[in-house]
Amino acid sequence: MANSNGIFKRGSSYYLRVVLPKTHQLLNTYKSGKVIVSLGACSYREALTAAAIKRAKILEAKEPPPPATRNLAPSSGTASSYYLRDIYDRWVISKPRSSDAINTCMRALLLYEEQTGNPPLHLLTRAQGDSFRAWLQEPERKTASKTAYDRFTWVKTLLKFAYRDLELINRHPWEGIELFKEATKQRRPWSEQELQTLFGQPLFQEYKLPKDWRAGSDAAYWIPLLGLYTGARLSELAQLRTSDVLLLNEIPVISISNSGVNQQVKTSASVRTIPIHSELIKLGFIEYVKNIKGKDIDSLWPTLSQRKDKPGGYFSNWFGEYRCSLGLIGYPDFHCFRHTVRSQLGEAEVPEHVIDSILGHEIKGSTGTKVYTHRTLKTLKTGVEKLNYGQLNELLTYRPRDAAC
């Protein structure tokens, strides 16, 4: 249902409904007397601003008919009236998309409109593509190489959508024009010294929880340890519920899925069950979970604030600052725990398909390996227990008695 200002929400996107005056010229196109258009906003406040601009353009008849309620078939014969913003509107509603994708694409579109002058699609040239590419990389813009690459790629994505999906143009005008990004420093496993620096702090030795609200109290202690002994992504760990920690065939496991409210996974292969390492059990993780369950709380981290559509976003900010305060600047970051786990399991000669199952990667190899290899919990448990961090295991001896929440 729309508010009195005509703004309403579908999925992760906001939309605007405008009721046309009885004498408005667009009534010939919109027989119902209503125009519905996507705002592509990630927050209600941003939607309010975008709605004001859209409403003014529609009522002044300066805005081409929004694609949410019109026929974009190539046979309409009006391709010259379409602009890239029309394609964006249609792209947003073509399938479920995250707020991050919608808003990142919008930022690229705004830059495109600023630099190119926003020509109709049928007048867009390759020279303009080359000019936009060069403009994104100008030193005075102080734009990182990857950011410029991403913005150029988003615009090309919309052009491809107009060409291949909607068939509004007879060619992709910027196909083959590439913006090359500089190679970034590759992530790597944590070294033994770096792990000892991190886990030798009072947070892990004495359970002295940080006061920073982004750390999520007990989450600050457990999430890095879970990353080290499961290789799970930060977003997967941050969204865990108490019901995701369970006993299967007498083996304690963590279930990672997208079945809960606001839970999401990167790929279908990310849905998996990971046996809990004996070191985590020794440190008191099962007792921690039981304590939270006893308080009838659904989230495993009751005080961990979640950023919309990005579980673990706030925690990631805190963890980055925390490790920098320890002199661990740049890499390794939290994601490097995944590289650490893969490296450890590889050196322990755990089969590759078992490693992929633990980390939530697509199984590589032949069809037989992908389909017929049977990975039982016992097999996964044996693999997980191969994780051994030497002296670090002796360093991690503190067992928290109760959850701080």
Q: What mean pLDDT is predicted for residues 283-292?
A: 93
Q: Which amino acid is at 396?
A: L
Question: Distance of alpha carbon 359 from its chain centroid, rounded?
Answer: 17
- More confident position, 66 or 216: 216
pTM for the complete prediction? 0.62
Q: Which residue has the tokens 């509603």?
A: 93
Q: What mean pLDDT is predicted for residues 189-202?
A: 93
Residue 76's pLDDT is 43
Alpha-carbon span 2 to 194, nearest angstrom: 53
Mean pLDDT, the chain, as a whole number?
83
Alpha-carbon span 156 to 160, nearest angstrom: 6
Segment holding 386, helix H or strand E: none
Give residue-wise pLDDT tens across range 232-284. Answer: 999 999 999 999 999 998 999 999 998 877 788 888 888 999 999 999 999 99
The answer to whether the CB of 66 falls within 8 A of the CB of 15 is no
Give the contacts of 275 (CB within 8 A, at least 6 positions apart). 251, 252, 253, 377, 380, 381, 384, 385
> Does residue 8 carry a pLDDT above 60?
yes
